[in-house]
Amino acid sequence: MNAMKCSAVFLDRDGTLNEEKHYVHRIEEFQWIPGVLEALKLLTQNQIAIYIVTNQAGIAKGIYSEKDFHTLNQWMLSELASQGIMIEQVLYCPHHPEAIIPEYKKECECRKPGSVLIQNVFGVRQFLPQHVALIGDRNSDIEAGRSLGIRTYLVETDYGAQEKNSTMADRVVPSLKEAVEDLLSS
């Protein structure tokens, strides 16, 4: 896969783009991982569609509301746009099997390692799996990508440091920046 052939990248959020801080849902808690903005700029400059795919169990567990999530999301997208970084869409799953909020309590295929959110984008955009990559810090991210036959990168920026020894990822890299550099050079 090279920059000419890569059409889209699906990125996990917490632990991949921003520091994992136990259910990040406030702007003041959100902190970019070093090198992330540079990596996202490289993807934008190479006209690669960027999608963020995130499990948001904190909604199901009553820690924060969907409104809180959307407020943080709008701020994040605005920050990225001000840097010239374009995000196609933020896809999220608010469900969890152990939810305390009844309408969110369920087993679903949109929660990673399920891949329905990504599949839905494939249905609309008609991406070819060989032209897509998924980058995340958990093996559940990797499983979602592998189930669709797309290239996967496990970053060691959070959970990935512990999960790297048991991963099925195509590549293990220190951070998003190295994943993007590898993606663009291969």
The per-residue pLDDT for range 105-147, each reduced to its tens digit, is 999 999 999 999 999 999 999 899 999 999 999 999 999 999 9
User: What is the pLDDT at residue 2?
Assistant: 44
pLDDT over threshold 50, residue 1: no
User: What is the pLDDT at residue 159?
Assistant: 87
Q: What is the pLDDT of residues 66-111, one digit of tens each?
A: 999 999 999 999 999 999 999 999 999 999 999 999 999 999 999 9
- Name the pTM for this structure: 0.95
User: What is the pLDDT at residue 17?
Assistant: 98
CB-based contact 51:9 (threshold 8 Å): yes
8-185 is classed CATH 3.40.50.1000:
yes
Catalytic residue ranges = 12, 14
Q: Report d(CA 135, CA 131) in Å as an integer.
A: 14
pLDDT over threshold 50, residue 174: yes
Q: Report d(CA 17, CA 184) in Å as an integer.
A: 18
Domain extent listing, the chain: 8-185
